[in-house]
């Protein structure tokens, strides 16, 4: 039997456990990359260690956000637990937990690649660190978005919340949580490639930096779509739908909340990964053939824009679903 207390406990577990798993795996990957880099280069140990420490600190940001949400659920205002509150808290836990898991692991690949590039170019380490920190900062965006959604859910959760409203908040949390996975994978693929490329040609760093900013912005676009739909779900009126749904009120209302979130979060999964893969291949050619840089960047951005259309189609369907009364 599912009780409000069980949902409350599951929400706390989802937030901190998933965040902790992601942080642990990510920091392990980053640490391994640093050790491998140090074994190949005897003169750049200090630079590699400095890069590793900075990278590990940013990887930890995901679990820190999870900890904040966990403490809010543990020590928030005392109120009688209901099914609605339990479902809302589970939405908070899933949002921040899934996003923290994804961004922590994704961020580690940038650190690993940066350490290996510094082993190849130890006197160019400051520029490589800058590129790595920039990549990690953008990778961390899903965690910030999930944190915002969790705060919105918390702010709208009242002692009189109904079960249907709790289902609505759970759907919103899952939308941004699942929606974080695709962009995080795409960012990991691209960040690893761009940080590797930075160690191959110092002269092309400026071009690579510009290309990285543009590509990472495009990869992150599906996540912005998920954030928009999640906010719309939070402020969706479920009472009106339930009033006209008759005996199937719970089923129809649940479908009206979960369907748009599923459409955009799962529908944009492949899009973000594909953009990351296409951009990662382009970053290699950008540094290896500077003369044809304009051609490479135009072709890559055109390909990314066409790939992005799949996420736009998913967004259109999600908008239609979230605004329908039934």
> What was the pLDDT predicted at 233?
92
The CA-based angle 208-108-190, given to 5 degrees, is: 35
Domain of 111: which CATH number? 1.20.120.610
Count the domains in the chain.
1
| Average pLDDT per block of 10 residues along the chain, 326 residues long | 85 93 94 88 81 92 93 80 89 95 94 89 85 91 94 90 89 94 93 85 81 89 94 85 68 85 90 90 79 82 90 93 76
> What was the pLDDT predicted at 11?
93
> What was the pLDDT predicted at 161?
87
> What was the pLDDT predicted at 245?
62
- Domain containing residue 41: 4-323
Q: Which two tokens stand for residue 23?
A: 């942080």
């Amino acid at each position: 039997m599912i009780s409000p207390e069980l949902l409350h406990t599951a929400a706390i577990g989802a937030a901190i456990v998933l965040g902790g798993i992601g942080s642990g795996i990510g920091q392990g990957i980053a640490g391994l990359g640093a050790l491998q880099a140090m074994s190949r280069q005897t003169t750049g140990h200090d630079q590699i260690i400095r890069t590793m420490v900075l990278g590990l600190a940013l990887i930890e940001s995901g679990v820190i956000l999870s900890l904040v949400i966990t403490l809010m659920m543990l020590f928030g205002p005392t109120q009688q637990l209901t099914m609605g509150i339990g479902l809302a808290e589970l939405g908070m836990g899933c949002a921040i937990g899934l996003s923290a898991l994804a961004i922590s692991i994704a961020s580690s690949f940038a650190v690993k690649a940066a350490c290996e590039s510094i082993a190849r170019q130890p006197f160019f380490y400051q520029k490589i660190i800058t590129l790595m920190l920039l990549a990690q900062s953008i990778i961390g965006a899903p965690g910030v978005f999930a944190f915002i959604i969790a705060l919105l859910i918390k702010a709208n959760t009242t002692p009189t919340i109904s079960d249907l409203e709790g289902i609505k908040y759970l759907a919103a949390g899952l939308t941004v949580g699942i929606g974080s996975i695709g962009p995080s994978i795409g960012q990991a693929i691209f960040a690893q490639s761009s940080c590797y490329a930075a160690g191959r040609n110092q002269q092309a760093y400026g071009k690579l930096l510009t290309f990285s900013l543009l590509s990472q912005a495009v990869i992150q676009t599906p996540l912005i779509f998920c954030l928009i739909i999640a906010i719309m779900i939070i402020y969706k009126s479920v009472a009106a739908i339930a009033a006209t749904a008759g005996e199937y009120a719970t089923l129809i209302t649940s479908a009206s909340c979960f369907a748009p979130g599923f459409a955009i979060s799962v529908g944009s999964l492949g899009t973000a990964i594909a953009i990351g893969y296409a951009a990662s291949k382009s970053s290699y050619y950008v540094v290896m053939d500077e003369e044809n840089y304009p051609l490479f960047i135009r072709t890559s951005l055109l390909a990314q824009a066409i790939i992005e259309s799949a996420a736009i189609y998913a967004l259109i369907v999600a908008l239609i679903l979230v605004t329908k009364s039934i």
